[in-house]
Amino acid sequence: MKHTSSSHRIVVTGSESTGKTRLAKQLADHFDCPYSLEAARLYVEDHDCALTIDDLDPIATHQLELEETAIGKAHSLVIHDTDLLSTLIYAQHYYGVSPEWITNTVMERTGDLYLLCDIDLPWVPDGLQRDRGSPEKRRMIHLQFVDMLENSGRRWVLIQGSGAARSEQAIRLIENYLDS
């Protein structure tokens, strides 16, 4: 399912506890554009249980729906609080699987620019969403994101710092991308 919008798709991604949700909202507010939420987070809130391998398909399907809804509202720019790439990385990390339809969709459906949030923020457990997390696992997942972004040829940059410095860096990078 490729998106057909002419809008620029910016994906805020990375391992848990790196400020993705906050940054995505700040960017959408700054650029006055729509954004999509993270399906896994919404799924946990709705089901109030730890994620299992059986949750992959409904989460992935909902992630695509959330993205398409935001894309449909966009005029020139849309921000995504993760995309299906994140679902694939967590499936590989926690369950040792790469569902074929998710892998294929990830390869044919890409954002225009990925903002990979660094793990330089203090780690805070994410509760039921990824209940097996730890600072060391976060570092391992971060390296999986770097590897996947590099090997898939996606355009990406590392976002570092905290608070206003982090969001200002992301804003400058998006502005530079849009100007190029």
**Roughly what angle, to the nearest 10 degrees, separates helices 39-47 and 56-73?**
120
Kindly report, residue by residue over 104-129, the tens digit of the pLDDT. Answer: 999 989 999 999 999 998 877 666 55
The residue assigned the tokens 């089901």 is 47
Q: What is the pTM of this model?
A: 0.93
* Per-residue pLDDT at 2 exceeds 90: no
The whole-number pLDDT of residue 131 equals 45
How many alpha carbons lie under 13 Å from residue 51 in its C-beta half-sphere? 28
Residue 132 has pLDDT above 80, yes or no: no
Whether residue 3 lies inside any domain: the answer is: no
CATH code of the domain covering residue 52: 3.40.50.300
**Quick check: 4 pLDDT over 90?**
no
Per-residue model confidence as pLDDT tens digits over 148-168: 999 999 999 999 999 899 999
DSSP assignment string, 87-98:
HHHHIIIIIS--
Predicted pLDDT at 1: 44
Confidence of residue 102 (pLDDT cuts 50, 70, 90): very high
Q: Shortest CA distance to 83 belongs to which of 3, 169, 166?
A: 3
Residue 150, domain extent: 8-179
What are the backbone dihedrals phi and psi of residue 116, each rounded to the nearest 5 degrees, phi first? -85, 110
Distance CA 118, CA 121 (A): 7
Residue 2: inside a domain, yes or no? no
Total count of domains within the chain: 1
**When comparing pLDDT for 108 and 25, which is higher?**
25
User: Could you give the C-alpha distances from 171 to 23, 86, 102, 178, in angstroms and in order?
Assistant: 10, 22, 30, 11
Per-residue pLDDT tens over the stretch 43-92:
988 998 888 999 999 999 999 999 999 999 999 999 999 999 999 999 99
